[in-house]
Amino acid sequence: MATSKALKLAALGSSIGLILSGCASAETDSSSGGSSSGGSSSNESPIELSLWSHEEGNEALEILQKITDEYNSSQSEFEVVIQAFPGESYNDSIVAAGAANDLPCIIDVDGPIMPNWAWAGYMQPLQFIDQDRLDKVLDGAKGYYNGELYAIGVWDAATAIITRQSILDAYGIRTPTVDSPWTRTEFDAALSTLQAGGEFEHVLDMGTAWTGEWYPYAYSPFLQSFGGDLIDRSSYTTAEGTLNGTEAVEFGKWFQNLFASDLVSPQEPGDRGRFREGKVAMQFNGNWDAPASYEVFGDDLLVLPPPDFGNGPVIGAASWQFGVSGSCEHPEGAEGWINFALQDKYLVEFSNLIGLIPATAAASAESELYYEGSPFEDFVDLSNQFALIRPPTPAYPVIAKEFEKAMADIRDGKDVQAALDAAVDAIDADLAANNFYN
């Protein structure tokens, strides 16, 4: 890895946000374990492979450990050992270890950050993933960069408009569906109608207290539905015209008006409890929070698609995924662990424990949350039909930071064009400084 890349990644490490996610007996076959190539014989100790995870203190670590124990028992060539880190320090730990060429063999990586780590040499393309299992994984849970697969997730997340059927009925508002979402005109009219009723402190909760990755994950899909984007995806060499063009400015003005018209609070409490308290009519939130609202409202709760602002509804995709470090000498063993972890029974366990969408349809059907007919099954449809990954470019950490700043400035009343132009200038300067990440 070039020194300039190491220095650049070290500088970026502190600004990388974490996606809010915040998130039966083993059947072993030839695709579950490691290849015999490069392994130890029956008379030798297994080769130890280290796995780094950001899940320290989280329930998901319990299942990771179970998978690891069962993988280690399923074959004798490799022994995977987990080292868990606090989420807030994990990315910095990877950056430091990458700069020192001291990475573990298996790493977990936030989906939109993966291209940056691949470009830096921290990760290598996956070579031994079972194709049948890969074909069944949701598109949003597969991490591609430059046409090569670098990471796979065992879950994904989805966002939606969450409200109550009784509210829409009381105000004569049409209930949208995945096949017939609200248009911009309908959505704006619904917001105005609800505000005019005077029943709620604010009409819509957009999670404004959440910062970091929430901004590009949650809000850039609205930008994309308007027809703009975070960068020109045809070349990945500029944000000019896509993040500050006519469609993007129109989005920015719409977003700013939410706050100027007092439809949305610029200081929404971080726990986002006002919807469950009946103080907010609708909430834009993720599937991880919906069960808590269902406990309060039961079958009155609605999970609705985002509006179509002219270019189709869009939601974010790509959560945490697993990959192999660039320095791993036994990728066949590391990918054997990933193959093993992709078994549906484990995906179901993750979903049941932490509430995120399983990475395969078969696992969703068995999940306690996303089975057919469940109150939350629409999240799976939203993920399948409307999900768009954040731009798969090494520049993404800078793009995310600049977009968050622009959206915060627009929220607070700054001229929309000026705020977006400033973001474009910063992004394009980073691209040029890094030779467009070639």
Strand ranges across the sheet with 280-286: 202-205, 280-286, 159-164, 301-304
Strand partners, 78: 47
List the structure tokens of 142: 């597969």
Domains and CATH numbers, the chain: 3-157+319-359 (3.40.190.10), 160-314+395-437 (3.40.190.10)
User: What three-state secondary structure class fits 131?
Assistant: helix
| pLDDT digit string, tens, across residues 161-209 | 999 999 999 999 999 999 999 999 999 999 999 999 999 999 999 999 9
Name every residue whose Cβ is closer than 8 Å to that of residue 24 and which is 6 or more positions away in sequence: 345
Q: Rounded to an integer, what distance in angstroms lies between the CA atom of residue 134 and that of residue 99? A: 31
User: In residues, how long is the chain?
Assistant: 438
Q: Rounded to an integer, what distance in angstroms lies between the CA atom of residue 394 and that of residue 9? A: 10
Q: Rounded to an integer, what distance in angstroms lies between the CA atom of residue 36 and that of residue 329? A: 14
| pLDDT digit string, tens, across residues 78-89 | 999 999 999 999
110 DSSP assignment: E
Other CB atoms within a 10 A radius of the CB of residue 320 amount to 27
Q: pTM for this one?
A: 0.90
Other CB atoms within a 10 A radius of the CB of residue 399 amount to 24
Predicted pLDDT of residue 44:
85
Other CB atoms within a 10 A radius of the CB of residue 176 amount to 22
Predicted pLDDT of residue 20:
38
Residue ranges in the chain whose pLDDT is less than 70: 1-43
Name every residue whose Cβ is closer than 8 Å to that of residue 174 and which is 6 or more positions away in sequence: 168, 182, 186
- The distance of Cα 279 from the centroid of its chain, to the nearest Å, equals 28
